[in-house]
Structure 1
Amino acid sequence: MKKAIISTIISAGLFLAGSAQAANEMDPAVESKLVKVCEAIKSDSVIKVNVAIRDSGLGMKRIADGLVCNGYDPVSFAMANEAQKTAKFLAKKSAADNQEFLASL
């Protein structure tokens, strides 16, 4: 009886750990759309950025303030890839203080 209780507790613990891990994974469709936004930012085309953001289903402000592309925020990612037009565009849309980025453009 004691072994049955212990095995039940261990099984429940493994099941809950698996559920918690699965909850942190991103939906592949959403991830693909966000990758397209990062690619558009890198392309230095404001039109492509607008289209990619619209297709992602998220708002401009949410993308500008919350997206991470290769470990960078969108403005820094654009600057790292010498995409000044998109960096300037996203800096204007971001709630963060990106005056230093705007000044350097």
Structure 2
Amino acid sequence: MKKILISTIISAGILLAGNAQASNIDSSVEEKLVKVCEAIKSDKVIKVNMAVRDSGIGMKQIANGLVCNGYDPVSFALINNAEKTAKFMAKRSNDNHQELMANL
């Protein structure tokens, strides 16, 4: 019985910690980042530039840290057949963009 109680407390602590981390992002920033993901999916580089500018976050930070539906921006663009934006985001990434471009 004691083991069940301890495991329940630990599980609850993990779940609460996950919720606390997810609530750290401001809803307006989250909305702007969703627009960046939508722009990446559109395969229009100008839309990506405008969405990134409107987000107030640097292009390199977005290229290296944004996650769209569980994928990095380049992979997300490729999954959605957006080759122009995939190439654009690969060039802006700190990763070896030649390696990312090889996937195209």
Q: Would you say how many aligned residue pairs link Structure 1 and Structure 2?
A: 89
CA distance in 1, matches of 2:91, 2:47: 17
Question: CA offset at residue 64 of structure 1?
Answer: 0.1
Superposition map of 1:1-80 within 5 A? 21-22=19-20, 24-25=22-23, 26-80=25-79
The runs of 5 or more residues in structure 1 that have no matched partner are 1-17
Q: Offset of 1:102 from its aligned partner?
A: 1.2
- Matching residue of 1:7: none
TM-score, scaled to structure 1: 0.76
Mapped to 2, the partners of 1:104 and 1:29 lie a distance apart of 33
1:99 alignment partner in structure 2: 98
Spell out, residue by residue over 1:29-49, the C-alpha distance to the aligned partner (whole angstroms, 9 max, x if none): 000000000000000000000
Higher-Rg structure is 1
State the SS of the aligned residue for 1:82. Answer: coil
Offset of residue 98 of structure 1: 3.5
TM-superposed deviation, 1:100:
3.4
Matching residue's letter, 2:59: M
Change (3 A) 1:100 1:22: closer
Paired-residue identity, %: 67
TM-score between the two structures when normalised by the length of structure 2 = 0.76
What does the per-residue CA deviation read over 1:60-98, in whole Å, with 9 as the maximum and x for residues that have no partner? 000000000000000000000000000000000000123
Q: Are 1:81 and 2:77 matched, yes or no?
A: no
Unaligned runs of 5+ in 2: 1-15
Q: RMSD between aligned alpha carbons?
A: 2.1
